[in-house]
Amino acid sequence: MNYLKLNLAALEKNIPELYKSVLPSLDDTSVLEAKETPSGALTALYRGKLLHSAYDPVKEAEKTIQRTLDSHSSVCIIEGFGLGYYVSAALAHTDDTLVIIIDNSIERFLSACKFRDLRDIFLSERVIFLIGSGEDTVSSVLRATPPGDIDIVRNRNLVNCEEEYFTAVENNIKRYRDRQKVNAATLNKFAHIWIRNLINNIKVLPEAGSIKSLEGIFGTLPVLLLAAGPSLSDLLPFIKLLQHRFVIVAVDTVMRALDEAGITPDFLVVIDPQYWNARHLDRVDLSKTILISESSTHPAVFRKGHKRLFFAASLFPLGQFMDSFTGGRRQLGAGGSVSTSAWDLAHILTKGPVYCCGLDLGYPNRETHYRGSFFEERSHQLSERFSPAETAAFHALTGAHPFSIENNSGGKTLTDSRLIIYKQWFEERLKQSPGRKTFSLSQKGIRINGFDFIDAEKLLEFPVIRDLIDSILNTISPIPEDIQTPLNRKLMEGVQILTQELNELSLTTKNNIDIIERYNKGSKGLTLSSVISTLDRNDNRIVKLQSKNITGFLIQSILRESLTESNRDNSLEISKTLYRKIKEAAEYHLNLINMYTENR
């Protein structure tokens, strides 16, 4: 029997986007050959290889899923649709796991639609189809999936037939997982610092403009981006001359070198919550430089003086809440490094080319930073007999599994698993915005697909345009006091609203903790159903509070653990732990807000 019409009707009704994408291929010849099996279920041949068992494809799929897929996993990625047996088995094996199917052939998918009734799959709300999609699509879809474990199920023979495609798919999944691990580790390390900085920086929000107002301000003029890689040392003499020919955007870690060389950047990007990062700006004159930052940056940065201040949109719930009282802001690319944000800013400022100096993403000549950097000097200051500066340099080079990779000259440069994440970030962003022209001046810097190498000497042929750049910079005036004053009043209204909500959140969670503890102690008149009913009512109150997301930011690790908890019998204890952590987070915010308002 040919099931194509039945399956297409189900597709049109339930997944119209997929239906429209397969229509142009409907008349193509079937690329799969169906074969009967002793079990009665069909199997299929593709390029002479069986895609499923020759005896019982249904049972084979069930065993594979049971062996590979944890029933509590958040996401199951199935590589290669075949005849859909793995998908059916995954849906039967799990209750709420999201199933993502990725396959590069629409023709194979349509062949499967002829041989099997797939309507149960098409009717499921837990299935996402990436049929005929590029290998990088999976990572963008994963960003929208719920937190939790990701399992991969491979249709082995099909994956082997399309090795290049599925290898690229798995590389994208690996990159996504690596970023998630880095993000989780960063959150655990810096969450409390970010919150403390955000509250202390409320007072500078009225002064900070939105980088949205800088969009395209330099037309097509070229921008020179200065990062802190080792190649900066050799290129500094050129930068002295290039500052008359380019808009200069620098990251905070290069400011000491630029100051000593007599170079004043037009824009300085500082996005780091740590105090030690602010030390890069020690004894540096910022009076002629526009500061680009974010409200979670260490407050010491904003006490060093600057020509003008602009904030990107906050990435954190508390910052987003406070931003709502000062008007909308534009996001700045956040790839985990200040250099990624500076690169995104450069392409906001101009529609012209961006040239990158010191963006090495590796260790040319086994150096970690430009010579004389704050990091290098600090390692010498902290040097001891049994822990010399050379030891710190060794750990910096070897701490993240170093390996060599192609550089801009065609040779090899040492890099590591941390820096390679930034390379991947740049390459993904360039795929999303292919019109962005970026060049690298670092001959021994890691090759980034989409960045062309150019010799710094060639940039000296560019015309001198400093007067034009300065005339544009002079149009960027500070926010006047008569605008800042009402903005400050709005912010304090926001602080009052937040304080009220946090107090309510703290009280509600305390009540939830109390009733669970009373039930556990066997208090009279309390049944499990009455406790759950009370918790549901209180949870509904919590859900309506804006502050739930703000405090929830501090307990991400606890939330992830509770979402993947396999023992359902201790759900009340899990709930009590969650409520206790939410209460602690609410009180942490309240204490900081009280200190801020008292010291204003």
pLDDT at 568 over 50: no
Amino acid in position 28: D
Q: Are 414 and 402 in contact (CB under 8 A)?
A: yes
Pairing between strand 403-406 and 412-415?
antiparallel
Dihedral angle sign, alpha carbons of residues 153, 158, 162, 163: positive
Mean pLDDT: which of 153-162, 258-267, 462-471 is highest?
462-471
pLDDT at residue 558 in the model: 59
Report the percentage of the chain scoring pLDDT > 70.
90
Distance between alpha carbon 220 and the CA centroid of its chain, in Å? 29
* Per-residue pLDDT tens over the stretch 256-286: 889 988 999 999 999 988 888 888 888 888 9
Dihedral angle sign, alpha carbons of residues 203, 204, 205, 206: positive
pLDDT at residue 107 in the model: 92
Q: What pLDDT band is residue 560 in, cutting at 50, 70 and 90? A: low
Q: What pLDDT band is residue 376 in, cutting at 50, 70 and 90? A: very low
Greatest Cα pair distance, the chain, in angstroms, is 87
Closest CA to 252 of 268, 274, 240: 268
pLDDT at 429 over 60: yes
* Token code pair at residue 57: 């494809």
Closest CA to 565 of 109, 133, 15, 148: 148
Closest CA to 295 of 323, 328, 268: 323
Count CB neighbours of 89 within 10 A. Answer: 23
- Interatomic CA distance for residues 505 and 494, integer angstroms: 16
* Token code pair at residue 525: 């008149």
pLDDT at residue 377 in the model: 47
- Interatomic CA distance for residues 216 and 456, integer angstroms: 25
Closest CA to 346 of 334, 332, 359: 332
pLDDT at 530 over 80: yes
Q: What pLDDT band is residue 567 in, cutting at 50, 70 and 90? A: very low
pLDDT at residue 254 in the model: 92
Mean pLDDT: which of 35-49, 128-142, 373-387, 424-438 is highest?
35-49
pLDDT at 23 over 80: yes
pLDDT at residue 563 in the model: 52
pLDDT at residue 334 in the model: 78
Report the percentage of the chain scoring pLDDT > 90.
54
Q: What pLDDT band is residue 315 in, cutting at 50, 70 and 90? A: confident
Closest CA to 502 of 397, 394, 590: 590
Q: What is the DSSP string of 503-525?
A: HHHHHHHHHHHHHHHHHHTT-TT
Q: What pLDDT band is residue 374 in, cutting at 50, 70 and 90? A: very low
Return the SS3 of 210: strand
- Interatomic CA distance for residues 307 and 286, integer angstroms: 7
Rounded mean pLDDT, 78-84: 94
Higher pLDDT, 421 or 360: 360
Q: What pLDDT band is residue 392 in, cutting at 50, 70 and 90? A: very low
pLDDT at 375 over 80: no
**Mean pLDDT lowest for which of 3-12, 80-89, 284-293, 573-582?**
573-582
**Which segments within 9-162 are labelled E, that is strand?**
33-36, 42-46, 49-50, 75-79, 98-103, 127-131, 150-154
Return the SS3 of 45: strand
**Mean pLDDT lowest for which of 82-86, 215-219, 378-382?**
378-382
Q: What pLDDT band is residue 242 in, cutting at 50, 70 and 90? A: very high
- 117: buried, middle or exposed (CB in 10 Å: 19+, 13-18, 0-12)? middle
pLDDT at residue 206 in the model: 94
* Per-residue pLDDT tens over the stretch 39-61: 999 999 998 899 999 999 999 99
pLDDT at 293 over 60: yes
* Per-residue pLDDT tens over the stretch 184-238: 666 667 788 989 999 999 999 999 999 999 999 999 999 999 998 998 888 888 8
Q: Are 442 and 408 in contact (CB under 8 A)?
A: yes
Is residue 336 left, alpha or beta, with left meaning phi > 0 and alpha meaning psi from -120 to 50? left
Amino acid in position 398: T
Rounded mean pLDDT, 479-502: 92
pLDDT at 485 over 90: yes
Rounded mean pLDDT, 301-320: 91
Return the SS3 of 293: strand
H-state helical runs in 399-527:
417-432, 456-459, 466-473, 481-520
Q: Are 325 and 307 in contact (CB under 8 A)?
A: no
- Interatomic CA distance for residues 63 and 66, integer angstroms: 5
pLDDT at residue 589 in the model: 92
pLDDT at 290 over 90: yes
- Interatomic CA distance for residues 393 and 575, integer angstroms: 46
Q: What is the DSSP string of 220-247?
A: T--EEEE--STTHHHHHHHHHHHTTTSE
Q: How does the average pLDDT of the chain come out, rounded?
A: 86
Q: Supply the pTM of this predicted model.
A: 0.74
Angle at which helix 417-432 crosses helix 163-200, to 10 degrees, equals 100
Pairing between strand 403-406 and 451-453?
unpaired
